[in-house]
Amino acid sequence: MLFRTLPANTLGRDFVVGDVHGCFDTLGLLLGQVDFDPERDRLLSVGDLIDRGPRSWQVLDWLAQMWLFAVRGNHEQMAIDYDASDAWRERYARNGGEWFMALPPAQQQRYRNVFAAMPLAIELPVGNRLVGLVHADCPEDDWVVFQARLASGEGVACSNGQTVLHEATWSRERIRGQVRARVAGVDLLCVGHSPVSLARQRDNVLYVDTGAVYGRQLTLLCLQEMSVHSLACTESACVDE
C-alpha cells in the first residue's frame, strides 16, 4: 500500500517528527517532554528513521508500535536498493548505511521487507484540515494526482521524467528555491529530507527535519495545536549532509 489514509484521532493528539536517523534515545526523551500518551496519541514520521545515528538497528521495534505511522524516506529506500550495483553499495556506505550492510543477509532482508511495506504518502484529517505526509515533496504539486500515480505503482513517471518514487523521496527543488505552487488537494504537507535550522514553511509545505543527527535538534509538530517542540540531540554523527 503506497498511499495510506488514517482516520481522525478523536482521542488524543497527532505529532509529526522530523528525520530521526537512528537517534531514538532523543526521540524517546522528546516524547516524554510532550507527555506523549501511547493510548491516545499518534506519532507520524516523515521518513529517514535510519542511518547515521547510533541506534538505527532499533527501527523495527519502533515501527512495530501501533501508534507509529511512517512514510518511506530515501534512506529506507537506499537500504532496499543498496545491493543493486557497486555504485549503490558505495553510495549507501557514504550515507550511513554501514550498520545495515554489516548485518547477515537474512537480517537485512527482514529490514528490507518492512521498509518496502512502508507507504510513500499518508494523509489524515485534523479538524477541518487535510494533512499530508511525504518524505521529500509532492510530485507536480497535486496531492490527488500524486495519489492516482501511486495507485499505478511507484515506478510511474512524472512529467519531468523522474519516477514518482524518486520525487517523493529525493526531491529538493522547492527548498532550493525553484518556483513551485501550493500543493493542491491538501491543506498542509509535512516533509523532511532537507535539514533546516528551524521548522519552516514554503507554500503549504512544512519542513520539519531540523538536523538532529548533525548535532542540532529533533523536532515534533503537534498538528492539533500547531505547536513545535524541539530537543537538542547529542547522538550526532560526523557525516556530510
Angle at CA 115, nearest 5°, toward 1 and 230? 105
Scored b (16 or more CB within 10 A) or e, 92-110 reads beebbbebbeeeeeeebee
* Cβ contact 184:142 at 8 Å: yes
Has 193 been annotated as catalytic?
Answer: no
Q: How far apart are CA 4 and CA 63, in angstroms?
A: 15
Q: What residue has cell string 488537494? A: 185
Contact 70, 45 (CB under 8 A): yes
The active-site residue, picked from 75, 135, 193, 229, is 75
For residue 114, give Cα distances in angstroms to 11, 36, 185, 194, 239.
28, 25, 29, 24, 25
Within a 10 A sphere around the Cβ of 171, how many other Cβ atoms?
25
Which residues are marked as active site?
75
